[in-house]
Amino acid sequence: MEKLAVHINSEIGKLEGVIIHSPGAEVENMTPENAERALYSDILNLDVALPEYNNFLEVLKKYSRVFEVRNLLIDILKNEKVRQEVIERICKSENMPDGIICRHIESFDVNELARQLIEGVEIKRDNLTRYLDNEHFSLHPLPNFFFTRDSSFSVNDRVLTARMANRVRDREAIIMEMIFRYHPAFSTQVVNPVETFDHTNKASIEGGDVLVARDDILLIGTGMRTTSQGIDAVLELLKEKPGTSHIIVQELPYKPESFIHLDMTFTFLDVDKCMIFEPLIMGSNRYLTIHIKIDNGKVVSIKEEKNILSALRRLGIDLEPVYCGGENDLTIMEREQWQSGANFFALEPGKVIGYARNIHTIETLNKHGFEIIRAKDIVKGKVSPGEYKKTVITIQGNELSRGGGGARCMTMPLARQTVKW
């Protein structure tokens, strides 16, 4: 197998490699009782969500090499040394000192081990305490794992593994880190910036908050999932890079939960266009936009900017904003932002994919020159995005959006062609 070199220096370059995780039984193992712990405000119907997801997946496959988390995990677990390291790290992370569960899962073959690490390990009711326990799982399912963006993210030629804000998702980051460290398919350097540089024990950072604008510019949101200390850890990492780098930080509201990450309010569409939730990104509000400039190992300036677009314009990226939910009705804007209406994923410059249910957002994209194409028509061969200069490919998303994320959330890009700005 030819190694894929990690290379991400924009959000929009033509996609060449991406990691996804198709949702499975771990989603159905979530109940109303444990949904809040799993960070959901609702439960998904897998039978309805999978057809939507599969249309999305088939479009990705027409553009790029697509890697499945479950298959990658199975591959690395075939190495006995790696298998033991995976089990030890997960058992330590999930605070299981008695070792019973660890010894139990050590007996699984690689396929079963991979399955249960994702779908959950049911509790063995072999003593009174466990018999009376209200918990159903010793290792809980990972219903958020199909949002592969969060637990690791590519920046230039490196993969950064996240420090998740919620412990229930730590296993996702461990699995992704082990895949990038040991799978022969990838050529990259793996860095956990929080573990390497943070000493406050307050740092968290997730990939949904990190956007690569250009090889020298990162946009990072700070709010409920990414702390200032987490951004400082990335800042220390960038100090090691020769030359000048920029971090543009956007403060996010802690409520409502639809503002979970920056990519729920801002995503790139083309070399000259972006999707925004206007009330936050452009509106006059108390949420700061801060520009940090790093030059040859030192922070040379930290200053407030008017907004993200203004800051990018100063750095040579001039973007026309397209408004999530349209331009006329604040209620519609808020409703469609809640439904991941600003969360688009670029397959190449000017060709993006998102949820059809956000009809006002899609109509606004069309007014800005994006031809509307249904994903299922691409899958059936009825139409090709190559026939159009600009397209928005729509997946239905009525069920998937209830998970709290969109097309960008469901992808972890590995390689893109370089964009000429």
What is the pLDDT at residue 314? Answer: 97
> Nearest 5°: phi and psi at 189?
-100, 130
Kind plus residue range of the DSSP H or E element containing 89: helix 80-93
By 3-state DSSP, what share of the chain in percent is helix, strand and coil, each rounded to 5?
A: 35, 25, 40
d(CA 90, CA 104): 13
What is the pLDDT at residue 32? Answer: 57
Determine the angle formed by the axes of helices 110-119 and 80-93, rounding to 10 degrees: 20
d(CA 59, CA 57): 5
The CA R_g of the chain, rounded to the nearest whole Å, is 21
What is the pLDDT at residue 30? Answer: 65
Tokens of 61: 């496959």
DSSP lists the bridge partners of residue 372 as 392
d(CA 394, CA 162): 29
What is the pLDDT at residue 35? Answer: 47
d(CA 208, CA 252): 12
What is the pLDDT at residue 98? Answer: 58
SS3 state of residue 61: helix
d(CA 69, CA 172): 10
Please compute, for residue 110, the number of CA atoms within 13 A of its CA located in the half-sphere on the CB side. Answer: 14
Residues of the chain with pLDDT under 50: 35, 37-40
> Nearest 5°: phi and psi at 122?
-65, 145
What is the pLDDT at residue 134? Answer: 76
> Nearest 5°: phi and psi at 81?
-65, -45
What is the pLDDT at residue 404? Answer: 86
DSSP lists the bridge partners of residue 212 as 218
DSSP state string for 212-242: EEETTEEEEEESSS--HHHHHHHHHHHTTSS
CB-neighbour burial class of residue 320 (10 A; exposed 0-12, middle 13-18, buried 19+): exposed
Beta-sheet strands, E only, within 277-374:
289-295, 298-305, 320-323, 345-348, 351-355, 371-374
What is the pLDDT at residue 194? Answer: 97
d(CA 281, CA 301): 22
What is the pLDDT at residue 39? Answer: 45
Residues 353-397: pLDDT tens digits? 999 999 999 999 999 999 999 999 999 999 999 999 999 999 999
Tokens of 284: 């006059």
What is the pLDDT at residue 34? Answer: 54
Q: Which residues, in sequence order, are CB contacts of 172 under 8 Å at separation 6+?
A: 142, 144, 145, 150, 151, 164
What is the pLDDT at residue 95? Answer: 79
Beta-sheet strands, E only, within 157-297:
158-161, 186-187, 189-191, 210-214, 217-222, 244-251, 266-270, 273-276, 289-295
Please name each of the domains of the chain with its CATH number: 4-75+141-416 (3.75.10.10)
What is the pLDDT at residue 38? Answer: 45
CA dihedral 279, 220, 347, 280 (to 10 degrees): 0
